[in-house]
């Protein structure tokens, strides 16, 4: 358990360092237009995620939060080999939701 805790903390530090580097790279603060576009994009992604089944949504959110396949399996009560397939299918469904939504808005 101690090693798992230390691994989790190390992953959190790496994620935080990546986020800090992203902010350091951008020399000028984002314009109002960039902030608005980013917010609209986030809202679209949230809508597409909300259309997914709960397990798919949770798996994707955990994966993009930096969790490993083993950790995702533990959180969702799955066997670790199933996680890859679950994430692949969830990603496909998310893409389908996005494509459907974008084609309807055109």
Residues 6 or more apart from 92 whose CB is under 8 A from it?
none
From 7-11, 30-34, 41-45, 95-99, the region with the lowest mean pLDDT: 30-34
Average pLDDT over residues 32-46: 69
Task: Using a pLDDT cut of 70, give the percent of the chain over it.
Answer: 79
Query: 48 and 101 in contact (C-beta within 8 Å)?
Result: yes
**Range 31-105: architecture per CATH:** Orthogonal Bundle (1.10)
The secondary structure of residue 30, as a DSSP letter, is P
With 60 as the cut, is the pLDDT of residue 57 above it? yes
With 60 as the cut, is the pLDDT of residue 26 above it? no
Place of tokens 């996005």: 98
Is the pTM of the predicted complex or chain greater than 0.75? no
Q: What angle do CA 57, 33, 14 make, to 5 degrees?
A: 45
| pLDDT tens per residue across span 68-92 | 999 999 999 999 889 999 999 999 9
Domain spans, the chain: 31-105
């Amino acid at each position: 358990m101690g090693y798992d805790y230390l691994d989790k903390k190390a992953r959190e530090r790496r994620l935080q360092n990546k986020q800090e580097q992203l902010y350091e790279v951008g020399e000028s603060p984002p314009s109002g237009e960039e902030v608005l576009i980013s917010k609209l994009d986030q809202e679209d992604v949230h809508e597409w995620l909300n259309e997914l089944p709960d397990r798919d949504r949770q798996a994707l959110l955990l994966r993009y939060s930096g969790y490993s396949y083993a950790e995702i399996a533990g959180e969702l009560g799955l066997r670790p080999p199933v996680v890859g397939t679950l994430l692949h299918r969830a990603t496909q469904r998310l893409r389908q939701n996005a494509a459907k939504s974008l084609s309807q808005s055109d």
